[in-house]
């Protein structure tokens, strides 16, 4: 009997999405999620079950510019991804995904409008189905063809020991904050703080005290059986020029982040920047190693997963083993 592993191909997907219309990454019954939409689109094209493993399970409303996932596809299904132009299977799959995802988006938009107006009880995107129903309403909503809120930027074959989650060395996020008059065109990706300026120098001083390897329980919503020990490699605030008021970009990079960790760190820095807490307060909260109501979770919509960093291919297996071993030792 042939080896089952030899009958599959591990494929990496580089993904970007606007998280506004999704209930997070992870598939959930009856809700439109990024994982659900992508898996359904892949299954529509390949005609086989597909399960994606992702680098970062983003929450509802969180965006991604550099998300990474992998899936094991049957070699037989991959072999069918050919066209008359002789393009490689990855290019063919990416092109077909663009079409399926665009139709799903138009259907979801139309269903959302119908649901809001009370003219339809069935939501086309509710079960993550790439159903074409309701596309007429999408046209009336001026949704252009070929547009989607999730885009697969690259599809490529990778070694079998690549793991989108455990092979990652680091994840990088940004969080956008602005002061001054709100811009309605940026309501989905910016936190409008108000008219009062934030003390950027104080925020950066406070951030320095959180860098390194620590138990970030005070800044996480812990999952049962999961470690909250993380290595925070970067946390700083950059003030961008142009526009009325302040335009701030908060950078965060770590080997991995606990649930709500980035948003809770941002919430702590905002309290320092507004003068509500002193510079040493975030560090004291970290040392207390318990979660209380003092730390506020910042809103999700200004957060973007920008990049996932991996070692060279020869280091995939070793990095994955290290990540799994650390989890086992800490739990």
Instruction: Provide the β-strand partners of residue 305.
Output: 64, 173
- In Å, how far from its chain's centre is CA 259? 12
> Does 173 belong to an annotated binding site?
yes
Adjacent-strand bridge partners of 73:
9
Annotate 108-122 with DSSP letters as a single string. Answer: HHHHHHHHHHTS-S-
**Number of CB atoms found within 10 A of residue 215's CB:** 16
Alpha-carbon distance 305 to 87, whole Å? 30
189 flagged as catalytic:
no
- Among the listed residues 18, 59, 149, 163, the single catalytic one is 59
Cα dihedral 264, 210, 324, 38, rounded to 10, equals: 40
Please state whether beta strands 63-74 and 303-309 pair in parallel, antiparallel, or not at all (unpaired).
parallel
> CA 287, 289, 295, 296 torsion: positive or negative?
positive
Report the catalytic residues.
59
* Binding site members: 173
* Binding site members for substrate: 173
């Amino acid at each position: 009997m042939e080896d089952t592993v030899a009958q599959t191909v591990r494929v990496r997907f580089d993904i970007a999405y606007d998280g506004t219309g999704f209930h997070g990454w992870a598939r959930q019954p009856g809700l439109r999620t990024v994982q659900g939409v992508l898996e359904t689109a892949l299954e529509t094209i390949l005609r086989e079950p597909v399960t994606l493993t992702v680098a970062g399970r983003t929450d509802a409303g969180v965006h991604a510019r550099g998300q990474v996932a992998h899936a094991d596809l049957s070699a037989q299904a991959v072999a069918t991804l050919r066209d008359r132009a002789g393009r490689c299977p990855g290019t063919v799959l990416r092109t077909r995904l663009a079409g399926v995802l665009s139709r799903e988006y138009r259907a979801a938009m139309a269903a959302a409008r119908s649901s809001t107006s009370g003219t339809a009880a069935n939501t086309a995107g509710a079960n993550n189905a790439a159903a074409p129903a309701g596309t007429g309403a999408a046209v009336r909503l001026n949704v252009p063809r070929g547009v989607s809120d999730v885009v697969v930027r690259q599809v490529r074959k990778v070694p079998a020991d690549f793991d989108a989650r455990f092979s990652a060395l680091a994840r990088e996020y940004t969080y956008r904050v602005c002061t001054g008059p709100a811009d309605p065109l940026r309501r989905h990706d910016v936190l409008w703080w108000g008219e009062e300026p934030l003390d950027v120098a104080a925020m950066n001083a406070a951030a320095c005290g959180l860098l390194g390897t620590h138990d970030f329980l005070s800044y996480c919503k812990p999952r049962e059986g999961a470690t909250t020990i993380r290595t925070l490699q970067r946390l700083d605030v950059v003030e961008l020029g142009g526009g009325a008021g302040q335009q701030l970009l908060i950078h965060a990079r770590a080997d991995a982040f606990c649930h709500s960790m980035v948003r809770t760190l941002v919430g702590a820095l905002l309290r320092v920047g507004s003068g509500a807490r002193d510079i040493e307060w975030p560090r004291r909260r970290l040392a207390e190693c318990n979660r209380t109501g003092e730390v506020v979770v910042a809103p999700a919509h200004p957060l973007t997963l920008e990049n996932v960093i991996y070692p060279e291919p020869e280091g995939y297996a070793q990095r994955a083993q290290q990540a799994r071993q650390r989890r086992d030792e800490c739990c």
